[in-house]
Amino acid sequence: MGVEMGLWRADGEKLTRITPTAIGLEAHLESYIESDPAMLGEPLLIVGRQVPTAHGGFIDLLAIDENAAVHVIELKRDKTPRDVTAQTLDYGSWVAALGRAEVISIFATYRPGIALEEAFVEQFGGTLPEEVNAAQFFKIVAASVDAATERIVRFLNEDFGIPINVVFFRHFHDNGSAYLARTWLVEHDAQSITPTGAIRKTKSREPWNGQDWYVSFGDSPDGRQWTDGMKYGFISGGGDKWFSRTLKNLTPGSRVFACIPKVGYVGVGTVLGSAKRFDETTVLHDGSEAALIALPLTGTYRHDGDRDDDVAEWAVPVEWTHAVPREQGFWKPGMFANQNTATKLRNQFTIDQVSEAFRLDD
C-alpha cells in the first residue's frame, strides 16, 4: 500500500491543503542529506559521497552511526524498481567486505586533512569504536516508489530481517516557504534494528602489529604516582585481580604507551621483564638492579589484604624511550583509551599522534 503524506495550513478554523511537488526534489536530496544526515532519523556521520566500488558503481552516500555500523544511502532518482533495490544490495555486499582501514581511507578521500577518529568525536562525543563496519544498513531515499519496490523492500525487511528501508521525502511550497516531510516505508526505530546475520568480523578492527600495548597508569594523590613510574622505570596496577591480570600479558620487548586516564599519554617505552608483585619487582636504577620497594617512592603501593596475589600491586619494569611529567600529558580527541590496565593497541591514529608528539621517529 502506497505511502501518502498530507500537509495542511491552518488559518483559524479553516484548513487549506498544500499540494506536494516533486519538481527538483530528488536532484537536491543528496546535498540536503549530506548537510544534515540526521534528517534520516538518527545521528549519522557522512564518510563518503559518490564512493566508487570495485564493481564500477558509485554509492551516493556512505555514513556511519554512533556504533560505527555503516549505512549505504542510495537515491532512487530515475531507477527502475528492480534496479534501485538490486543496486542497493549489490553496493551493500561490497561495503560488507570493507575493513576499518578501508572505511578510514574512504573518509580521508572525502574530507582530506581531518582524521575519521577526530570527526567521530566531534559528531558523537565519543571515541571511534575498535569495531568498524561490523553491521550494515541500507536506505533507499525517494519522493515516491512504485508498488513493486514496496513489495520487494517489505519482503526483504520483514520476512528476512535484512535492514533495508525506504525513506520518503515530499516537497511542499506555501507562501514562499519550502518544507520537507519525511516518512518510512517500514516502521523505523533506529535503536532497535539489529541486522540478521550481522557477524563480528576481525577485519572490521585494525590489525594488531604484535608489539604495541596501551597501558593505563592510574595516578592518584593517595596511591600510585606517575613521578615514580617515570623516574624508576615501571608501570603498575593492583588492588583487585581485574587491575593486575592484564599486566601479565606484557612480555619483554613489547612497546607500551602509558596513559593517565583523563590526562593523556605520558610515556612510551620498552618492557624489560615480566609482571611480578610490586614487592618482588626489580628495576634498573643508576646503572644497577634495585628492589623497587626499597627505592624512595612518592606514591603508595600497598592495599588492604595484599598478601593475596589477587589484591597485591603488580609491576612491570620499563625502559622509557620518551616520558613526560603528568602536567605535559598529551591528548587529542579521537585517541584510544581503555579501562583495562593493559590492552593491545590497534589504533594507528593514536600511535601516529603520540609518535609525532613525542618525536619517536627522530
CB 345 within 8 A of CB 353: no
The end-to-end CA distance of the chain, in Å, is 66
How many whole angstroms separate alpha carbon 155 and alpha carbon 148? 11
Same domain, 170 and 240: no
Same domain, 152 and 266: no
- Is residue 260 situated within a structural domain? yes
* Helix, coil or strand: residue 46: strand
Question: How open is the CA angle 326-215-361, to the nearest 5 degrees?
Answer: 75
- Is residue 362 situated within a structural domain? no
Look at residue 196 in the predicted model and tell me its pLDDT. 43
pTM of full prediction above 0.75: no
Same domain, 53 and 197: yes
Q: Give the three cell numbers for residue 237.
A: 596496577
Residues near 236 by beta carbon (within 8 Å), at least 6 away in sequence: 217, 224, 229, 247, 278, 301, 313, 314, 315, 316
Of 204, 224, 254, which residue constitutes the final position of a domain?
204
Total domain count, the chain: 2
Of 174, 204, 234, which residue constitutes the final position of a domain?
204
Same domain, 243 and 110: no
Same domain, 84 and 137: yes
Which CATH number covers residue 26? 3.40.1350.10
* Helix, coil or strand: residue 124: helix
Same domain, 304 and 175: no
Same domain, 259 and 334: yes
Q: Give the three cell numbers for residue 162.
A: 535484512
Look at residue 191 in the predicted model and tell me its pLDDT. 42
Helix (H) or strand (E) holding 45: strand 45-52
Which CATH number covers residue 245? 3.10.590
DSSP alpha helices (H): ranges in 36-115? 81-95, 100-110
37 DSSP assignment: G
pLDDT, tens digit (0-9, with 9 covering 90-100), for 92-113: 999 999 999 999 999 999 999 9
Same domain, 157 and 61: yes
Same domain, 48 and 117: yes
**Could you say which residues of the chain have pLDDT below 50?**
1-2, 190-202
Structural domain range at position 234? 212-357
Look at residue 152 in the predicted model and tell me its pLDDT. 87
Of 155, 175, 204, which residue constitutes the final position of a domain?
204
Q: Give the three cell numbers for residue 114.
A: 581531518
- Is residue 3 situated within a structural domain? no
Q: Give the three cell numbers for residue 33.
A: 542529506
- Is residue 23 situated within a structural domain? yes
Residue 230, CA distances (Å) to 40, 307, 322 in order: 50, 26, 9
Same domain, 183 and 219: no
Look at residue 25 in the predicted model and tell me its pLDDT. 60
